[in-house]
Amino acid sequence: MKITVLGSGTSQGVPIIGCSCKVCSSNDERDKRLRSSILIEIDGKTIVIDTGPDFRSQMLTHKVMQLDAIFFTHEHKDHTAGLDDIRPFNYMQRAEIPIFCSAQVEEALRREYQYIFAETKYPGAPEVTIHTIDNNIFQPFPNISATPIQVMHSKMPVFGFRINNFTYITDAKKISAVEIEKVKGTEILIINALRLESHHSHFSLDDALAFISEIQPKKAYLTHISHVFGAHKEIEKMLPDGVFAAYDGLQINLSTE
């Protein structure tokens, strides 16, 4: 299984429009963070978690030629706004793209992308099949199982996802004991850490490190990073052994056994 971090930034990305802080002005490519998303390649299938506003450029940058499924964490626009750009995959694959999401996300997609779901479809509109999931294990494909991890983003339920020994969680502020048990045993963890200071709807660095300490993965990577957190080099100096700041383009290879 190969994981590619397509975007490691927060909702406004980094650099932020109109900002000239040292992070937004950095020449380090690791400080240029698109909206959070990952690509999972496993068993011949390609899965994207979240299609944010940068989806098109992410697909072009990484030369993604196949899209077999989309998992949505939640309905905020920084995670769904690129859905229209799946159309080339529909054309190349001559097939609808399966979407796996909660009922709440499905409702938002049907409201915000009415033309996709209209009885009389506009020619060329994206073609999707929605599979509504709860927080129980599901199989997007016969040989692949995924476990949703329900976390709270302030008062909004959000899904993280675990596949084998890899777990991806973004936009978390609280995680119940029951859901934490689903994460334990994970070898590679990607978890959100917005900034140093506490935030009402996102893990801070201290929150993320406390969670990592409880899970004890072999390696953990921080994502959904804001410009106020600091430059990549500065963040890395704050982290304990085995914990790293993710960056756009980071690739992680791990066994599926």
Alpha carbons 257 and 248: distance in angstroms, whole number: 26
- Reported as a single tens digit per residue, the pLDDT across 41-58 is 999 999 999 999 999 999
For 98, counting Cβ atoms within 10 Å of its Cβ (0-12 exposed, 13-18 middle, 19+ buried), the class is middle
Going from the N-terminus, what domains does the chain have, and what CATH number goes with each? 2-253 (3.60.15.10)
How much is the pLDDT for 257? 53
Please say if the pLDDT value at position 218 is more than 90: yes
How much is the pLDDT for 255? 79
Mean pLDDT across the stretch 47-76? 98
How much is the pLDDT for 122? 83
Q: CB-based contacts of 34: which residues, under 8 Å, 6+ apart? A: 6, 7, 8, 9, 13, 52, 54, 57, 58, 248
